[in-house]
């Protein structure tokens, strides 16, 4: 891998071949079951329980345990109803050995609508409700909000890569990705405003330091799975949207998102050499879990016809074909 911080990441040929094959071989399926109504953006998914890991300490600075972790979860996710703390052997940045803990917070997610991929969602992102007069405005406002939330996620990744001695090319790529997400948020925000919707403010709980494994686990879920799927979706929208402006914007966004996915896999490969076999297995398990969870959510939604036609979202069956086609990457 190039050592210069200004060098570009080498292209991930398997990733690019896989995405190109999917975009040009997955059929555009019928819109059976879609409504022409402009009042709803999708058929809602069912309510479910979210399982979100956090590596933060307790509000008083102490380490969480199963007896007191609710104070941490309620601070980060006020709707939390239970929690579990896991202790894992850890190699710290200075080479020392020890244990670190992470907490899984469980909270209910009400029935609602998802739009596309969640992208690189940062830890501690506070939920926000997107309001729009029509599904197109709501869709683009949600997308712009997630693009904006990805900016601090990439900046944090860049800082952590530097702290753990990663090659300059990875650090530079993470910072570049943050700048690209700023442009994406502006471009998609303009599409939202064009359709009468406003983009809510991004609110994120303060970040705290975490182990290399914790960073890589988040990268596995948010980068290797969600951003890779997001790159596929952006490429699909660039080809399929009937709205010319959407095709143009997502044509530019798709190439950026592909580089973001390449960054995620490059970080994964670099970190794998520094993790123990048990840590590498947990990262692999996290990727599989994220893929299965994303598949479960995609199975439950069917975009309205206006979103498929004008915004280029894939119908549910096409989306499942695209997602399942990425399994070769995640395995």
| pLDDT recorded at residue 38 | 39
Closest-CA residue to 261 (of 294, 291, 231, 293): 231
Residue 82 falls inside a structural domain: yes
Confidence class of residue 130 from pLDDT cuts 50, 70 and 90? confident
| pLDDT recorded at residue 62 | 86
Residue 6 falls inside a structural domain: no
Name the phi and psi angles at 74, rounded to 5: -65, -30
Domain boundary among 89, 110, 131: 110
Cα→Cα distances 215→160, 230, 311, Å: 8, 20, 33
Residues 39 and 51 in one domain: no
CATH of the domain at 184: 1.20.1260
Residues 194 and 306 in one domain: yes
Averaged confidence pLDDT in the chain: 85
- Chain-centroid distance of CA 167 in Å reads 23
Residue 3 falls inside a structural domain: no
Residues whose CB falls within 8 Å of the CB of residue 283, separated by 6 or more in sequence, listed in order: 213, 216, 217, 220, 268, 271, 272, 275
Taking the alpha carbons of 223, 225, 229, 230 in that order, is the dihedral positive or negative? negative
DSSP string for 164-186 = TT--HHHHHHHHHHHHHHHHHHH
CA–CA distance, 226 with 231 (Å, rounded to integer): 9
| pLDDT recorded at residue 30 | 44
pLDDT higher than 90, residue 279: yes
Closest-CA residue to 9 (of 270, 262, 223, 269): 262
| For range 237-266, the mean pLDDT | 96
Residues 253 and 292 in one domain: yes
CA–CA distance, 318 with 296 (Å, rounded to integer): 14
Cα→Cα distances 167→8, 47, 262, 265, Å: 12, 42, 15, 14
Bridge-based pairing state of the strands 82-91 and 97-109: antiparallel
- CB count within 10 Å of CB 33 equals 11
CA–CA distance, 104 with 83 (Å, rounded to integer): 5
| pLDDT recorded at residue 40 | 37
Residues 55 and 163 in one domain: no
Confidence class of residue 331 from pLDDT cuts 50, 70 and 90? confident
DSSP H or E segment with residue 216: helix 212-218
Residues 20 and 85 in one domain: no
Residues 147 and 59 in one domain: no
Residue 93 falls inside a structural domain: yes
CA–CA distance, 250 with 263 (Å, rounded to integer): 19
DSSP-assigned letter for residue 3: -
Residues 291 and 182 in one domain: yes
**Looking at per-residue confidence, does 26 or 4 come out higher?**
26
Residues 39 and 52 in one domain: no
Residue 84 falls inside a structural domain: yes
Residues 69 and 177 in one domain: no
Residue 318 falls inside a structural domain: yes
Taking the alpha carbons of 228, 215, 144, 317 in that order, is the dihedral positive or negative? positive
**Looking at per-residue confidence, does 48 or 127 come out higher?**
127
Total structural domains in the chain?
2
| pLDDT recorded at residue 185 | 96
What is the residue range of 88's domain? 47-110
Residue 59 falls inside a structural domain: yes
Q: What are the tens digits of pLDDT across the range 108-117?
A: 765 545 555 5
Residues 138 and 98 in one domain: no
Confidence class of residue 101 from pLDDT cuts 50, 70 and 90? confident
Residue 1 falls inside a structural domain: no
Strands of 48-54's sheet in order across: 48-54, 97-109, 82-91
Domain boundary among 55, 87, 110: 110
Residues 207 and 322 in one domain: yes
Domain boundary among 60, 83, 110: 110
Residues 56 and 197 in one domain: no
| pLDDT recorded at residue 18 | 94
């Amino acid at each position: 891998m190039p050592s210069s911080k200004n060098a570009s990441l080498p292209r991930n040929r398997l990733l690019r071949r896989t995405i190109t094959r999917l975009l040009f071989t997955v059929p555009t399926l019928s819109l059976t079951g879609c409504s022409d109504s402009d009042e709803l953006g999708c058929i809602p998914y069912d309510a479910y329980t979210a399982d979100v890991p956090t590596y933060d300490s307790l509000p008083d600075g102490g380490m969480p345990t199963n007896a007191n972790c609710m104070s941490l979860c309620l601070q980060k996710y006020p709707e939390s109803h239970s929690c579990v703390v896991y202790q894992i052997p850890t190699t710290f940045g200075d080479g020392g050995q020890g244990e670190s803990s992470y907490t899984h917070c469980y909270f209910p997610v009400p029935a609602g609508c998802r739009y596309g991929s969640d992208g690189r969602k940062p830890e501690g992102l506070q939920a926000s409700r997107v309001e729009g007069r029509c599904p197109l405005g709501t869709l683009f406002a949600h997308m712009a909000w997630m693009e904006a939330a990805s900016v601090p996620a990439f900046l944090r990744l860049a800082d952590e890569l530097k702290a753990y001695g990663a090659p300059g090319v990875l650090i530079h790529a993470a910072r570049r990705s943050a700048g690209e997400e700023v442009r994406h948020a502006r471009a998609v925000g303009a599409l939202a405003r064009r359709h009468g919707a406003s983009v809510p403010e991004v609110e994120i709980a303060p970040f705290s330091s975490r182990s290399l494994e914790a960073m890589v686990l988040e990268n596995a879920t948010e980068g290797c799975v969600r951003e890779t799927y997001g790159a596929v979706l952006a490429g699909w929208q660039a080809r399929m949207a009937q709205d010319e402006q959407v095709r143009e914007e997502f044509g530019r966004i798709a190439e950026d998102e592909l580089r973001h996915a390449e960054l995620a896999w490059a970080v994964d490969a670099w970190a794998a050499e520094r993790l123990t076999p048990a840590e590498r297995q947990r990262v692999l398990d996290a990727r599989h879990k994220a893929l299965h969870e994303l598949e479960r959510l995609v199975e439950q939604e069917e975009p309205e016809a206006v979103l498929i036609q004008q915004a280029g979202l894939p119908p549910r069956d096409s989306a499942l074909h695209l997602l399942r086609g990425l399994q070769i990457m995640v395995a």
